[in-house]
Chain A
């Protein structure tokens, strides 16, 4: 089966600065949501821009549906649609005019574009805003219009760069619902620095830090990277014997302490903390824990925490 998306040793260097991407390799075979997690400046947007044929890599290769992003860019562009980070709607247009014009840019005939606009607006429940000027729309509706723009193209591969950054939790949850619907029929390459977003939406997750792919897999597969099953956060410091009995203790700047531990030890530590009347929380290892675990560890050259196959290849 042909890979839907594949990167081989993808590297991008801007001038003499540190590489924005370093030997990133990954392969995805099926539709769904792939969430690329990373902090600001991790290289997420650079990767998305290379895959979306907006930017040339310095070395390595990338392909979509078997087509090379450098050599077959024209063909790829017919099959993808991109919602860039910080994309904003042109304020003097209405949602209908925005989507209609974008569809014309995509090469549709006027009649095709007109009929697709209506369907797309209805699908994302934007009918009542269709003739309102974009500048009068709320932040959440604006994002939905942007999403509708790329959805209306009928491209089956969507690149969505930090779509919920800056939105309030209610609007964010609303957009998550829409993305969850879309993933049944589309492949969505989503970048985010919200761990919860990746945890809730993604079928596959990649973790990028300083241009290197540190982890790749499903949430369960990523959990296996961390050898502990539980995370305990103690608000008021730790007792000395707890610190020495397990390997992974992290002290935060705010005075709290986080302990990654096994199921057996978690139970024992909890009892002890209860006896000592410490304020603490305990929960199974989350994506956030995995993220901090990976990002905190020193990165060895060409090392990827990939529990699912060689060279970051996801065998679905």
Chain B
């Protein structure tokens, strides 16, 4: 009996090919969609604010791109699992849940790359910050990406059909993108309902990022709390995702 040497890196690469590279190559419309996706709200906010919220909006669009990666991942994973049964073929293969999920997360990132490239160029043009600010924003983006990917993977394992999928997408969008002040400072939300925004982890991410680029002044204690809450939420979600996700049926 001969056991082959498994190339784990190629398992990750396979997901990137299927869910990003081949998709954009064979369906170029997805490339166009990936480029323009984060710009709808960005343009709207810039127009309505007469350019006042330009830098916050760009930074908000970056956060949205990361959140969208998780939402898209959830849709794609559910689609591949429920409609194509590819996940069943992978469970009974040398692929592991970790390499598959990592690969799909990388695919989500590759899908977001066109938009991220444009947003990065805009950031360099319109956002003034120092190295610490830049690193802070990158860390926040990485955390929110990890959060949305873990959430997307976990929800996909529970989703059994397209209706559930839609429901999950709606809930995710509301929690992560709608109630959080991503494109504007939290002070724009009336004080009486401001606490609702803090139900979303994206709010803490946005506050930290807005503070880093100088568009929001947070006290040291508020900033510390934001970091603690954001990291804690990501950590807890990761643990829940690992424990509760169903890679295969029980």
Contact = CB atoms under 8 A, between A and B. Distances in A.
Is chain B found bound to chain A in the same assembly?
yes
Interface of A: 49, 52-56, 65, 74-75, 77-90, 92-94, 97, 100-102, 104-110, 113, 133, 149-150, 153, 159
B92 A77 contact: yes
Given A88-B85, A133-B26, A108 B18 contact: no
Contacts of B6: 78, 107
10 contacts: A87-B85, A87-B88, A88-B85, A90-B84, A97-B26, A106-B94, A107-B95, A108-B4, A113-B10, A153-B93
B248 A55 contact: yes
Contact of B92 (A88, A108, A113, A159): A159
Interface string B77-91: 000100111101111
A149 B89 contact: yes
Given A92-B26, A107-B4, 9 more contacts: A74-B94, A79-B1, A88-B83, A88-B84, A94-B26, A101-B18, A105-B90, A107-B10, A113-B10
Contact of B5 (A49, A84, A107): A107
Given A87-B85, A88-B85, A81 B11 contact: no
B187 interface: no
| Interface-central residue, A49, A90, A93, A159, by most chain B CB under 10 Å | A90
A133 B22 CA distance: 11
A106 B92 CA distance: 10
Interface string B149-164: 0000000000000000
A92 B22 contact: yes
B243 to A, nearest CB: 17
A49 B100 CA distance: 20
A82 B26 contact: no
B8 interface: yes
B245 interface: no
Contacts of A85: 85
The A interface is mostly helix, strand or loop, or mixed, namely loop
Nearest to A90: B84
Contacts of A84: 85, 88-89
B14 A104 contact: yes
Contacts of A53: 91-92
By Cβ-Cβ distance, the 7 closest A-B pairs, closest first, are A107-B6, A104-B14, A52-B92, A87-B85, A84-B88, A104-B10, A82-B92
A77 B93 contact: yes
| Interface-central residue, A65, A90, A107, A110, by most chain B CB under 10 Å | A107
Contacts of A55: 248-249
Contact of A54 (B4, B14, B92, B94): B92
Interface string B13-44: 11101100011001100000000000000000
Given A92-B22, A94-B26, A102 B80 contact: no
B7 interface: yes
Nearest to B23: A92
Contacts of A79: 1
Contacts of A113: 10
A109 B249 contact: no
A97 B17 contact: yes
Contact of A77 (B5, B18, B94): B94
B88 A54 contact: yes
Contacts of B7: 104, 107-109
Contacts of A78: 3-4, 6, 94
Contact of A101 (B14, B84, B88, B94): B14
B190 interface: no
Nearest to A154: B4
Interface string B49-81: 000000000000000000000000000000010
Given A105-B11, A105-B14, A107-B11, A54 B91 contact: yes
A124 to B, nearest CB: 17
